[in-house]
Amino acid sequence: MTPDAERIVAEIDAIGGQRDIGTGSYATASLALNDRAKVRQWLSTAIDKIEQQQPDAGYYDLMSIRANSYGDPILDEPEFRELRAKLGTL
């Protein structure tokens, strides 16, 4: 992980402690850390929220993940392609 990623993740965690930043923001931070387990956890939580028709403050981050606009190879792995497809129901 780069120092920039560490700094940004620390900022996201700090902001998230003050207000709702959404599962998408946490999933994006987890991608920056290459933490597959946390990416999976946050995307699963986002899908649960979608199924319950609950809004997510990290909507735009979720859409970036869905489209893999980051070009992150983790998101092209089969299990993450499946999760991304479920985000398509937003």
Count of residues for the chain?
90
Judge whether residue 90 has pLDDT over 60: no
What pLDDT, in 10s, does the model give residues 18-27?
A: 888 899 999 9
Q: Could you tell me the two tokens for 55?
A: 């809004």
Using an 8 Å Cβ cutoff, are 21 and 57 in contact?
A: yes
10 Å CB burial of residue 23 (0-12, 13-18, 19+) is buried
Using an 8 Å Cβ cutoff, are 41 and 29 in contact?
A: no
Please, which pLDDT band fits residue 1 given cuts at 50, 70 and 90?
low
What pLDDT, in 10s, does the model give residues 26-78?
A: 999 899 889 999 999 999 999 999 899 999 999 999 999 999 999 999 999 99
pLDDT at res. 10: 85
